[in-house]
Amino acid sequence: MFVILQRLLLTLLFFSASTFAADTGWQRSDTNPYAEVRLRGATLQQQPRMLMDIQLVSGWKTYWRSPGEGGIAPAIHWEDSAVQAKWHWPLPTRFSISGFTTQGYRGDVTIPIELNQVPEGPLRGVLTLSSCSNVCILSDFPFELPPLTPADAAFQADYARAMGTVPPAEGVTEQLEASWVGNTLQVKAERAAGWSRPALFFDYPPEVMLGEPEIQVKGSVLTARVSATDEWGDKPESQVGHSLSLVIADGDIAQQSHVTLSNKVLTQNTDESFLMVILLALAGGLILNLMPCVLPVLAMKLGSLVQQTGQTRRQTRHQFLASSGGILVSFLLLALMMTLLRLSGQALGWGIQFQSSGFLVVMVLVTFIFSLSLFDLLHFQLPSGLTTRMATQGGNGLSGHFFQGAFATLLATPCSAPFLGTAVAYALTASLPELWLLFLFLGIGMSLPWLAVALMPGIARILPRPGRWMIHLRTVLGLLLLLTTGWLITLLQPHWGQQIVVIVSCLLLLLLGVLLWRQRDRVRLVLLPLVLLVAAAAGHFYQQPDQTEPLPWQPLTEEALQQARAKGGLVFVDVTADWCITCKVNKLRVLNHPDIRAALMAPNVTLLQGDWTRPDPAISEFLRHRNVAAIPFNQLYSPAYPDGLIFSPLLNTEDLLTELNSNKAKK
């Protein structure tokens, strides 16, 4: 009987021992008394698994899979090189010391590991662990695990608990995007539940070091900016088009994500960034004076300069200050319009007033009246009964100069530029106070040349003395404004149709002819056939069909874009409008260039074009989704740029051709 009981006890001990997880026990390095490690292994559902337990003395830390600016992640060198290990990393903590940022763990942490190709015998290797306080110690822990057996309840519970600390692929954000702008990584995430303790952790791109994220939260939207350098502290290579691995957390809830970096501006919410946008607004407003729409604006400016000759410095200063005031008021009126559109839920955009036929009619009348005034054919009083003549007619009154600046602003809005587009895009998505402030600085930027004359009235004195040359110059300026009137009339064709536009043009020319015929001045009589000749040439040019073979544009929609991207190859997007002067310049200078046309008509290129001449909610939403408020808008999708490469509003032939050819080779 005793022998039978002895054998039964040994059998029970054997089977109970076989259910214990393999365990190395706690190990400590002779050179590192601040860290202890233990490795445990077993099979779960016939799959080998391992737990790495790490205990650190208070004040010491070890590192995450991507340590940051210093430190080394834990690693195992297996004796059997065939062993494959997949580490699951718990949510880390960020450490910032002396300007350096690292990512890792304090105290106790357990890292679950999936194993493959495990040998039948013992599992041997060396764990290398870096632990740091004010100094860092790199320690090796040789280990040997007995052959793995089915996990007991304790191992199963510990493994499940450890996996619970590993961020899953969802659960925090409903929408996440990231971009690379200059030397800055930008992240934007939306969480319906809001944010309480947000944090971001990054797997650093190759040869790139990332600083501590600057996180801001507005409602359900989180935005972050992360400065980037290379390993030597210099400017890193652009990461646009590359995939970024990151963990985004809110308290103890975290999510592992992968996102492709675009080049969109997602956030400019820091004080430094807002100051930069203000500077961009100043530059954008100033550059409006140099854009393709400069002719009508320059006409008004020169007309104002001409009438200053012979006046006192005080008169010159007041008149140019009045013109600057007209510019500023116009920009504030644009801010008011944008505010009302935002509050009503309508689409926002730079120059969208040119989508309104009513606005175009007003501008046609104003420019036509201005041209008549420059031809000295029309004089009228302000509704207030004052005798001040409007705009370019002269006199000591300031109302005309004020309106001159106002209408110069409105005529300049169809133009766009890189600085202007960035500032307007920020303004239209910022808070209402920021929107108004940025539009104010846009106005200050555009009025800088006017303010320069106001501050230094002597500039106006460099013009020749008054004489007959002034009449000839006013006539030339009148012709320029008359051509502007004709251009504005053509913008009414999508609203009214070609026949009505032709009738209106003829009526305005007839009125001009009658007024010229009534003049006794020989110059005016000579001007009549000149005006008719210009009108006939413009009409012939307008009716002349484009001899260039049209590019095979397809209508732009999000669905069409996704279908084109699914086919592979390149997708080139163009958003344009008849009223967008910069769009016309891009077409003539770049898109119609023979080399560009050849590249765009290649078999692997799909062309999508959106027409924003008239209000189109789909185009507005397309632009809003890309954080764009001004056109022209051009974007290239390719395997290298899966989220699209956005080009400068003013296209450059060489840059566009380089991107088309290089991405073509990467197909």
The whole-number pLDDT of residue 83 equals 92
List the beta strands (DSSP E) in 206-272: 208-210, 214-218, 221-230, 243-250, 253-260
pLDDT tens digits along 463-492: 555 555 555 666 666 676 677 777 777 777
Q: Specify the pLDDT at position 332.
A: 86
Confidence of residue 664 (pLDDT cuts 50, 70, 90): low
pLDDT (average), residues 606-611: 92
Q: What is the chain's mean pLDDT, rounded?
A: 77
Does the domain at residues 553-665 carry the CATH identifier 3.40.30.10?
yes
Q: Which of 438, 444, 437 is nearest to 421 (CA)?
A: 438
pLDDT confidence of residue 244:
92
Give the whole-angstrom CA distance, residue 551 versus residue 530. 36
Please compute the mean of the pLDDT values over residues 286-292 and round it to a whole number: 67
pLDDT in tens, 169-220: 988 998 999 988 777 899 999 988 888 889 999 999 888 888 888 888 888 8
User: According to the model, what pLDDT value does residue 571 have?
Assistant: 92
**Cβ neighbour number for residue 97 with a 10 Å cutoff:** 11
Domain ranges of the chain: 19-163, 175-260, 271-543, 553-665
Q: Dihedrals φ, ψ of 527, to 5°?
A: -70, -30
For residue 666, give the DSSP letter: T
Given a contact cutoff of 8 angstroms between Cβ atoms, the answer to whether 198 and 250 are in contact is: yes
> The tokens 């040789």 sit on which residue?
142
- pLDDT-derived band at 531 (thresholds 50, 70, 90) equals low
Q: What is the pTM of this model?
A: 0.49
Torsions phi, psi for 163 (to 5 deg): -65, -25
Two domains, one topology: 175-260 and 553-665: no
Q: How far is residue 397 from each of residues 60, 130, 381, 400, measured CA to CA in Å?
A: 77, 79, 12, 7
What digits encode the pLDDT tens for the residues 261-277? Answer: 887 777 654 444 667 77
Out of 78-82, 192-196, 339-343, 648-652, give the one with best mean pLDDT: 78-82
Average pLDDT over residues 39-63: 92
Helix (H) or strand (E) holding 116: strand 108-116
Question: Could you tell me the fold of the domain covering 19-163?
Answer: Immunoglobulin-like (2.60.40)
Q: Report the 3 state secondary structure along 56-79.
A: ECCCCEEEEEEEECCCCCCEEEEC
How many Å apart are CA 358 and CA 412, to the nearest integer? 18
331 — alpha (psi -120 to 50), left (phi > 0) or beta?
alpha
Please measure the distance between the N-terminal and C-terminal CA atoms of the chain and give it in whole angstroms. Answer: 81
AA letter at 46: Q
Classify domain 175-260 at the CATH topology level.
Immunoglobulin-like (2.60.40)
Is the pLDDT assigned to residue 647 strictly greater than 50?
A: yes
Distance CA 37, CA 19 (A): 22
Residue 293 — pLDDT band, cuts 50, 70, 90?
low
Vertex 81: Cα angle to 77 and 83 (nearest 5): 90
**Strand-strand pairing, 198-202 and 243-250:** antiparallel
At residue 666, the pLDDT reads 46
pLDDT for the residue numbered 475: 67
Burial label for 595, CB within 10 Å (0-12, 13-18, 19+), is middle
